[in-house]
Every structure is written in C-alpha cells, then in structure tokens.
Amino acid sequence: MASCRAWNIRVLVAVVCGLLTGIILGLGIWRIAIRIQRGISATSSSSPTEFCRNGGTWENGRCVCTEEWKGLRCTIANFCEKSTYMGFTFARIPVGRYGPSLQTCGKGTPNAGNPMAVRLCNLSPYGEIELQNVTIGNCNENLETLEEQVKDVTAPLNNISSEVQILTSDANKLTAENISSATRVVGQIFNTSRNASPEAKKIAIVTVSQLLDASGDAFQEAAATANNDALTTLIEQMETYSLSLGNESVVEPNIAIQSANFSSKDAVGPLNVRFSVQKGASSSLLSGSTFIHTNVDGLNPDGQTELQVLLNMTKSNSKACGFVVYQNDKLFQSKTFTAKSNFSQKIISSKTDENEQDQSASVDMVFSPRYNQREFQLYSYACVYWNLSTRDWDTYGCQKHKGTDGFLRCHCNHTTNFAVLMTFKKDYQYPKSLDVLSNVGCALSITGLALTIVFQIVTRKVRKTSVTWVLVNLCISMLIFNLLFVFGIENSNKNNKTSDGDIHDIDFKNNDVPQTDTIHTPNPTCTAIAALLHYFLLVTFTWNALSAAQLYFLLIRTMKPLPRHFILFISLIGWGVPAIVVAITVGVIYSQNGKNPQWELDYRQEIICWLAIPEPDGVTKSPLLWSFIVPVTIILISNVVIFITISIKVLWKNNQNLTSTKKVSSMRKIVSTLSVAVVFGITWILAYLMLVNDDSIRIIFSYIFCLFNTTQGLQIFFLYTVRTKIFQNEASKVLTLLSSIGGKKSLSSVTRLRLRVRMYNFLRSLPTLHEHFRLLETSLSTEDITLSESDKAKESI
C-alpha cells in the first residue's frame, strides 16, 4: 500500500506537470499560427519591399529615386555613363550635375588632390541625355588664391567663376575654410558694382548648388567663424540677383531662381504673382519644375505641388519680383533651431524691386510636408523668416493658417526668406500587451519562485546545505526581474498616444520657433525601470555563474570545506558587480549626452523599457553590447563549459554497480542534468538562435525561447522543491489526511518509517551514485531516520 501511495504522488505530480506543459505548448503553437497568419495577411496587403529599384525608397505612396534614376519604380536611367575625353576619365554623372575627373592635381601643386577638370551631363533640346565639353582647371590655383585675386577690380571674373566651380565640384572634400573662401569669391561675382557677366553669375549659381552638397558640420563650423558674414552676404545677393533674370529661370539641383517682370500702371486692385515648385522623382530640384503665374486669384496647390507662394502687391512702382528656392537650410545656420532629421527643409525667398521703406507686399504660402510618414508624425510647425540682422529665424509678422487640403499654410506681411520649421514626433509602434503565453509563463514562474524561496528558507536547518544560499539569491533576483518585466516593461507613453499626425491636431495659435525638428516625450519612470531590469537580469546571470562555480568546486575540485567568508564573498559579487556595471553605463551615457533632452533614448528604447537597440553604424558604441551582451556571453560560455564538465565527470559517469536499477538511475541522471542546466541558465543560449535572418525560423526559436525562459522559475520549483523528500513527505501527509477523510484507511506511521529506512539502506548500498547526486538533492529529514555523525558532516557541505 505504501508503494502504491508513493506511486500515486508521482503520478499526480507527473499529470500536473504534463498538463501545464501541454497548456503552454498549446498556447505557443496557437500564437505561432496567429503570427504566421498575420504575417501572410500583412504581406499581401502592403506594398512589396522590392517595388522601388536602384536605391529608391517608398515614401508617402510613391518611389523617391536617387538622382541617377527616375520613373515609377526608379528603373529609367538618369545619368551619363562613365566616359573618357581629352585624356580625362569621368565616372557616372547624374543629369544636371558636373562630374569631377578621376585625375587630380599633383602633390606639388597648390590645388593638390582636387580634380583637374569637370564635365556636365545634361539634356539636349530633344530630351536626350548627353555629355558636354570638358572644362579644365588650373592646378596652380586654389580657393585661397582666387579669394585674393577677386579683390582686384580688373580680375577676369569669368575665369575665376569657372575655377571656383571646378574646385567645389567634389562636395565630400569641402572643409569649413573652403566654404568660407568660396562664398566670399561668389559674393564678389554677384556684387552689382563688379558688373560680372551673366555667364559668370550662372556658373556661380552652380557653385552655390555644389556648396549645398557639403556636410552640415562643415557649414556649422564656417558659420561659427568669428565675424564671418559671408553666408549672410551671399543670401542677400541671391535675393538681389533674383530680380535680374527678366522672365527666365536658373535651376540647379540645390537652388532654383526665377524672375517675373510686369507693369502695374494699368492694374486695378492687388496684383498677385504665384510661384510654384512641383514635386520631382528625386529630392533634387529639376529643370521645368518651377512656374510663375501673374494676375491670379490666389493659391491653387494640387497633389504635385511641393510649395507655392502668392505675392500680394498693391499699386506701386514695382516692376519686377524674384523668387529663390534652396533645397536645404545649410546657408541658414540657426543658433536656436537644430535639424537632426534628414528631411528636406526647403527655404523660399520672395522679393520685389521696391525700396525697403516702401515694401507693401505680403506673402501667402503653402508647403507640402515631405517626410517618412511610416516612422514619424508631424507634431507642429512654425512660419518663420530669416532675420538678416540677428542671423537667425524670427516669427515677426508671420502666422499659421488652417487648411483643409493637407498643406501647411503661412501668411507673412513682408517679403524675405521664408521657411516652415517642422517638428516631428517619431511614430513608435508600441507593442501590444504581453500575450497569453508570456503572461501564463511569467505567472507560473513568479509563483514557483516565491514558493521555492519560502521552502528553501523554512527548511534550511533541516537540509543543512550551502547550496541553499546561492539558489535563494538566484530565485530572488529572478522573481524581481519577472515582476518588473510583467508590470513595467511597457512604456506608459503608449497610453498617451492620442494624435495620429493629422494637421488638424496642430496648435495654430502657437508660432514660436522650435529648438529642434524632433521632439521626445521624456519618461524618467521608464528609464528607471529599464535600469532595474538591466540590473536584476545581470544579477540573475551573475548568480547563475556563481552557482556553476560553487558546484564546480564541490563536485570537481571536492573543496571541503568551502573557503572562509565564502557566502559573503559571493554575495558581494552577485549583487555588487551588476550594480557597478549599470551605474557606469548610465553615468557614461549621461556625461556624454546629458545636455540633450533625449539622452535617455541613448540608454533605453522608447517602445519598451529596455536597453536601446544600436543603429547599424553604432554597434560598437551600444550600451546593449558592452553592458549586457558581452558579459552575458562570457557567463554563458563559462557555464556551458562547467556544465559539460560536470555532466561528463559526475552526472553521466559509468557506474559498474548499476544492475537492476539502471533505468531508474538513467532517469535520475536526466533529471539531475536538467536541474544543473536550469540553475546555470543554459536555456538562454536559445536567444542567439533568434538572430537568424529567416523570419519563419526566428519565430519558432522565439517561442521556444519564451517557453523555456518564462517558465524558468517553474522549472526551478519542480526540480528543487517538488523533488525533495521533505516536500514529498508533506505532500504525502496531506494526501493521507485527504484519504482518511474520504474513508480510505491510511498506513500507520510505523509502516511508512520502515519503508523509508529500507529505501535509505538501499541508497547507502550504492556509495558512488549517492556521492555524485548528493549535492543535487536535499538530505533526508532527521524526523525519518537518524544519520551517523560522519553522514551529517557530509550533508553539511
């Protein structure tokens, strides 16, 4: 009867474990099926990722191509092939661009390293792509020498303009000094007192366009130079030049200028001039994309309009007006507004030939916001103009207007350089709440860990084993991590997401100049939770490593007794080292980026309260790599080595005494191996299998990883609590009590004691097996049997 009752307990435990495992596996399979189904439906409803070819990107429902391609799918060539002419070789050149020669000036020349010649790729009058003649530069001239030459009123401005254009053809090599020198030379060419030829000025416009391809850092350094007003002077001269083109236009990839001449003596009422810029296949300005219409009723934007300006002029002496469009804001280096995104911030200038005191024109504008709507939301915008006195953006005389057509509308009561400074909020795709699988697994782990902690503490005197301290600390750290994961991993900003980026949600009363083009809603609570998760997960892995080290010393090195103050020493390591790692990580990030309001996003993610995922070009500087992945990888490698060593030398070592109990011993070996694997954290190796590129395989490993690691606390409960003799005895008493209440006759305590003594004697007959497994199990209760003094000494290890 006693053996039947023991088997009943085992069967009950097996059934419970089987049911829980079956439920969790079923939930995992169900979640995999739903995930695959969602993936198929999402794939069929979205645009194919390979729709845009040749580097084109899918933005706002269309392909935005690079300069070298055009067409619906960026499949039509828009470049001149590699060529050789007059001994100079030129690489592929986009249409509308000057390509530098591969041959450069020698090291002994003032212009060392710069191209010796340039060549234009353009469209013929019939629309065919063709290469123009080669323009050869002078290797004995550089921007500094040209800056000195242009000061001479008799200097040949045509030659100087061509030389500057050649010297600035490779924007990647331009420095702050090059930009400053080039703008001063171009400024002299546009100076009305120098009477430069129209051809020299048109070449100078090419130079300005090439300068706008230089890096933003170089422009910032050039603008920061003391008493450097070259950029401001160039902006003023561009406005003046825009009045001198008659009814013609000059369009380069980064700048477009167009004029309109008219007579107002016969006009009745206001005279309106409308200037429009159409969207192109690429981000560059294209010839034929700008239009001027006079005597119009008002603005008339359509789906192809990128920006439109309406110049409202009353009866005056104005005979001409001009417009300038800058592809980016690099000439306008603001001290208050910082652009961090790569979205194009076009600048539009409008000017009449009236005197400054008689300026009476006002301006209405519409801008089509161009940004990645899949990743960002338009948060707000400001209608501003460039104040030439303060050399910064200002809002005086400008205000925002509501529109119903998706355009950003502005009105200013004066003419100058205008812009719309847009601010964006990243449209984070916050994950859904934890699914059923994660909730069930974490709940079971939390329950199992709590029961294990209580059991290990309550029964520590009976079991008399030093393994208890390591196991309790491991369970405590894992329990706290699971609680933080369940209740704190989600960012509370997820619940504050109310706007979908609609223009109607913008505050039109506020027209203040923003500080940056991207905003972030700070959440110190999420940062604190990320740091705590970081800390307690590192603590868990550290105790995994300490558990491995302890078992290695006890089973392999047979160190008896353990060193003095061993418990204190490992406690300082287990709880102190992770604290140092987290403190250093947060401290370094804050010291480097503390002035940035978004510094916390360098440490954590926004979508969840966990360490930030590095950008492809910033992996080596990522806190996730150095403060988590590297130490965890080292711990896992060492734990695997110790696990293999213990498994071979102890757990699976052949024993010649095994005969009829071979099957039972093999089962105990398997269970003991699992016990060691769980406390060593071996299952976390599955996380590396989630890094494969195949989505279907990654999903499978993701759910396997979730299954094993969310239930790690439950596994510890079964392997280190349910399997102990003390727990089974207490469970046996409960079942005996329940059986007696049901009318079943229970065995006497004497009979149970005899059976236990027989089992104990049987185990004592297998000394080698007993010695190998003794440290992985709890000692028998002193209430059941009385051990000898020597046995008690062994059990105290």
Confidence at 284, pLDDT banded by 50, 70, 90: confident
List, for residues 578-599, the tens digit of each pLDDT value. 999 999 999 999 888 877 777 8
Average pLDDT over the chain, rounded to an integer = 77
The answer, yes or no, to whether residue 379 has pLDDT greater than 90, is: no
Tokens linked to 755: 């059976």
Closest C-alpha to 585, from 602, 597, 607: 602
pLDDT at site 752: 52
List, for residues 84-109, the tens digit of each pLDDT value. 999 999 999 999 999 999 999 998 89
pLDDT at site 414: 85
List, for residues 128-142, the tens digit of each pLDDT value. 999 998 999 999 999
The alpha helices in 224-269, defined as continuous H runs, are 230-241
636 vs 342, which has greater pLDDT?
A: 636
693 vs 367, which has greater pLDDT?
A: 367
Confidence at 771, pLDDT banded by 50, 70, 90: very low
Confidence at 119, pLDDT banded by 50, 70, 90: very high
The answer, yes or no, to whether residue 467 has pLDDT greater than 70, is: no
Q: Is the whole model's pTM more than 0.75, yes or no? A: no
List, for residues 23-40, the tens digit of each pLDDT value. 554 544 444 444 444 444
Q: Where in the chain is the domain with CATH 2.60.220.50?
A: 245-427
pLDDT at site 264: 52
Task: Quote the CA–CA distance of 323 and 212 in Å, as a whole number.
Answer: 18
Average pLDDT rounded to a whole number, residues 10-25: 51
Q: Checking DSSP bridges between strand 518-519 and strand 417-426, what pairing results, if any?
A: parallel
The answer, yes or no, to whether residue 19 has pLDDT greater than 60, is: no
What percent of the chain has a predicted confidence (pLDDT) above 90?
26
438 vs 607, which has greater pLDDT?
A: 607
The answer, yes or no, to whether residue 207 has pLDDT greater than 50, is: yes
Ranges 204-218, 491-505, 736-750, most confident: 204-218
User: Contact, 262 vs 361, CB < 8 A?
Assistant: no
pLDDT at site 103: 93
Secondary-structure class of domain 436-494+505-651+667-736 per CATH: mainly alpha
The answer, yes or no, to whether residue 125 has pLDDT greater than 70, is: yes
pLDDT at site 518: 80
The answer, yes or no, to whether residue 758 has pLDDT greater than 70, is: no
Q: How many CB atoms lie within 10 A of CB 290?
A: 19
User: Contact, 434 vs 642, CB < 8 A?
Assistant: no
pLDDT at site 216: 87
Average pLDDT rounded to a whole number, residues 5-14: 49
pLDDT at site 289: 86
The answer, yes or no, to whether residue 344 has pLDDT greater than 80, is: no
pLDDT at site 413: 87
User: Contact, 518 vs 426, CB < 8 A?
Assistant: yes
Confidence at 297, pLDDT banded by 50, 70, 90: confident
User: What phi, psi does 53 have (nearest 5°)?
Assistant: -100, 170
Confidence at 668, pLDDT banded by 50, 70, 90: low
The alpha helices in 607-748, defined as continuous H runs, are 623-624, 630-646, 662-680, 686-689, 695-710, 712-717, 725-741
Ranges 395-399, 621-625, 636-640, most confident: 395-399
CA angle, 412 then 414 then 417, to 5°? 85
The answer, yes or no, to whether residue 435 has pLDDT greater than 70, is: no
List, for residues 539-563, the tens digit of each pLDDT value. 999 998 998 888 887 776 665 666 6
User: Contact, 187 vs 237, CB < 8 A?
Assistant: yes
Average pLDDT rounded to a whole number, residues 601-624: 79
Average pLDDT rounded to a whole number, residues 719-742: 75
User: Contact, 386 vs 236, CB < 8 A?
Assistant: no
Of 666-680, 760-774, 781-795, the poorest mean pLDDT is in 781-795
Task: Quote the CA–CA distance of 786 and 783 in Å, as a whole number.
Answer: 8
SS3 content of the chain, % helix, strand, coil (to 5): 45, 15, 35
Confidence at 531, pLDDT banded by 50, 70, 90: very high
List, for residues 241-272, the tens digit of each pLDDT value. 998 888 889 999 999 999 988 765 544 445 78
Closest C-alpha to 331, from 391, 283, 286: 391
Task: Quote the CA–CA distance of 94 and 74 in Å, as a whole number.
Answer: 13
pLDDT at site 682: 80
Prior bond to 270 cis, omega within 30? no
Best CATH choice for the domain 245-427 from the list 3.40.640.10, 3.40.50.11740, 3.40.140.10, 2.60.220.50: 2.60.220.50
Tokens linked to 741: 């209440």
pLDDT at site 94: 93
What percent of the chain has a predicted confidence (pLDDT) above 70?
74
Average pLDDT rounded to a whole number, residues 179-185: 92
Whose tokens are 């910033």? That residue is 618
List, for residues 442-460, the tens digit of each pLDDT value. 888 888 889 888 888 887 7
Q: Where in the chain is the domain with CATH 1.20.1070.10?
A: 436-494+505-651+667-736
